[in-house]
DNA sequence: GATGTAAATGATACCACGTCTCAATATGAC
DNA sequence: GTCATATTGAGACGTGGTATCATTTACATC
C-alpha cells in the first residue's frame, strides 16, 4: 500500500521528505479513485491534526508538478478531484449524464508520445485521457443526448 | 467564426437562445485556445456590460454539460481554463514548469474509442487528451526535473 | 551525535472564484 | 399581442485556495 518509490521521486527531485508530504501522499495512495480537496483535507486531519491546510495544498501542487497526481473535473465548474497517476498516466470515461467514471488501463499512446517528443522538442512524463459519453445505465434509462 | 450549429445544439437540447448564452459562446469561439474564467468574464463584459457574472458561470456549466467546452487544469490547483472541443475532442501538451500549452490535432484514438464502446457498453461523444512534460524552452533553461 | 542552513511548515489573514437568492425580464409558443 | 416559464442580473454570501512570516524540521557536514 505504501509505495516507497513515490517518496523517492520526491527526494530525487530535491524535495525534503517531511511529515506533511508523507501523510498527504499516503492518504491519496490509500484511497483508490478520485478525491476532492475537501476529502483529502479531512483524511489528512484525521491522521495528523497538526498538519495545516496550506501544507496540504502545497503538497497537492507539488505532487501535480511531479505528475504523481492530477486534478481533473468530473462535473461542472465546481471543485476538482485529484487522481493518482500510477505510472504517470491515467485514463477514464466520464458519463456526462450521471458523472460516473469508468477507469481503464490500456491506452496505446506510447508511440504517439514518442512522435510528439520529436515533433515539439518536449520531454513527456505522463498523460491523462478522458472520454466523454453516455454510460450503459443512462442510455438504457432512455436519456436523450445531443448528437455531435 | 460564428458557428450556428452550436447554438442549434443548445436549442435542440431544450435551452433558450438568450443574449447571455450567445455572447459567451461567441467569445469562446472567437478566442482560439484556452481561456480562464477571468478572461471570459472580461471579454463578455467588454461586449455587453449588462451581462452578469452569474449568467456567465451558468453558461459555462451548461456548455460543459453539452460537451461543447471542457474545463482543464494547466497549472496547479488554481483556476481552470476552458477550451473549446471543436469536434468533441481536444489534445494538448502542458509544460509542468511554465504551464505553456501546445495543442496538436492528430491523436489516432478512433479505434480505441470503438473498442471501449464495445467493452463497456457506452456511447462516446468526445475526449480530452493531455500530455505532461517539460517544454523545450524549460529544459534548455537547465531546469532539473524528475526522471520517471 | 552535534551543528548549521535552507527548505518547509503551520497559523492566520486575506482574496477571488463561484454560488445562491429573488425580483425583474426576455424567450418562444400560442 | 399575450402568456407561462425559463433565464437573467444584481449583490450578498460562502468557501476554496493563497500569501505572509515567524518557527520548525530535514538533511548535509563535520
pLDDT in tens, B109-122: 888 889 999 999 99
pLDDT in tens, A20-75: 999 999 999 998 788 999 999 999 999 999 999 999 999 999 998 888 998 888 76
Nearest protein residue, CA measured to C1' of D6: B16
Reply yes or no on whether the pLDDT at B141 is more than 80.
Answer: no
Residues 6+ apart with CB under 8 A from B131: A113, A116, A122, A124, A126, A127, B92, B93, B94
Residues B50 and B92 in one domain: no
What pLDDT score was predicted for residue B42?
Answer: 94
Residues B50 and B115 in one domain: no
Q: Which of B38, B54, B86 is the last residue of a domain?
A: B86
Q: Is A55 on the interface with B (CB under 8 A)?
A: no
What pLDDT score was predicted for residue A141?
Answer: 64
Domain annotation covers residue A110? yes
Instruction: Say whether the CB atom of A61 is under 7 angstroms from strand D.
Output: yes
Query: In terms of pLDDT, which residue wins out, A98 or A119?
Result: A119
Query: Which residues from B are below 8 Å from A83, CB to CB?
Result: none
Residues A77 and A57 in one domain: yes
Residues B98 and B148 in one domain: yes
Can you tell me the distance from the alpha carbon of B100 to that of B58, in angstroms, rounded to the nearest whole number? Answer: 28
Q: Which domain holds residue A135?
A: 87-142
Residues B98 and B77 in one domain: no
Mean pLDDT, rounded, of chain B: 85
Q: Which of B64, B86, B108 is the last residue of a domain?
A: B86
Most confident of A28-32, A77-81, B14-18, B62-66: B14-18
Residues A26 and A59 in one domain: yes
Per the CB < 8 A criterion, the answer to whether A51 and A44 are in contact is yes
Q: Is B16 on the interface with A (CB under 8 A)?
A: no
Instruction: Report the candidate in A63, A75, A38 with the shortest Cα–Cα distance to residue B146.
Output: A63
Q: Is A136 on the interface with B (CB under 8 A)?
A: yes
Can you tell me the distance from the alpha carbon of A72 to that of A135, in angstroms, rounded to the nearest whole number? Answer: 19
Q: Which of A84, A101, A117 is the last residue of a domain?
A: A84
- Going by pLDDT thresholds of 50, 70 and 90, the confidence category of residue B125 is confident
Residues A92 and A61 in one domain: no
Residue of A nearest to B148 (CA): A125
What pLDDT score was predicted for residue A143?
Answer: 43
Beta-sheet pairing, A123-134 with B123-134 = antiparallel
- Going by pLDDT thresholds of 50, 70 and 90, the confidence category of residue A4 is low
Domain annotation covers residue A147? no
What is the number of domains present in chain B? 2
What pLDDT score was predicted for residue A76?
Answer: 63
Residues B79 and B43 in one domain: yes
Domain annotation covers residue A148? no
Reply yes or no on whether the pLDDT at A16 is more than 90.
Answer: yes
Instruction: Report the candidate in A89, A87, A95, A133 with the shortest Cα–Cα distance to residue B129.
Output: A89
Reply yes or no on whether the pLDDT at A135 is more than 90.
Answer: no
Residues A59 and A1 in one domain: yes
Domain annotation covers residue A49? yes
Query: In terms of pLDDT, which residue wins out, B28 or A4?
Result: B28
Query: Which residues from A are below 8 Å from B121, CB to CB?
Result: 135-136
Can you tell me the distance from the alpha carbon of B121 to that of B102, in angstroms, rounded to the nearest whole number? Answer: 33
| Cell numbers at A115, concatenated | 512522435
Beta bridge partner(s), residue B71: B82
The CA-atom distances, in angstroms, between B73 and each of A25, A52, B44, B95, B132 are 20, 24, 22, 12, 11
Residues A121 and A60 in one domain: no
What pLDDT score was predicted for residue A33?
Answer: 81
Beta-sheet pairing, B81-84 with B69-72 = antiparallel
Amino acid at each position: 500500500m505504501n509505495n516507497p518509490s513515490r517518496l523517492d521521486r520526491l527526494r530525487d527531485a530535491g524535495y525534503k521528505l517531511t511529515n506533511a508530504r508523507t501523510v498527504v501522499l499516503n492518504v491519496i495512495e490509500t484511497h483508490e479513485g478520485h478525491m476532492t480537496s475537501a476529502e483529502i483535507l479531512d483524511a489528512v486531519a484525521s491522521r495528523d491534526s497538526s498538519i495545516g491546510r496550506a501544507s496540504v495544498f502545497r503538497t497537492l501542487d507539488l505532487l501535480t508538478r511531479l505528475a504523481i497526481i492530477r486534478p481533473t473535473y468530473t462535473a461542472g465548474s465546481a471543485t476538482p478531484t485529484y487522481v493518482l497517476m500510477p505510472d504517470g498516466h491515467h485514463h477514464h470515461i466520464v458519463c456526462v449524464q450521471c458523472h460516473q467514471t469508468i477507469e481503464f488501463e490500456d491506452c496505446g499512446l506510447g508511440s504517439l508520445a514518442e512522435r510528439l517528443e520529436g515533433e515539439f522538442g518536449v520531454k513527456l512524463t505522463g498523460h491523462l485521457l478522458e472520454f466523454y459519453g453516455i454510460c450503459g445505465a443512462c442510455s438504457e434509462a432512455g436519456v436523450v443526448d445531443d448528437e455531435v
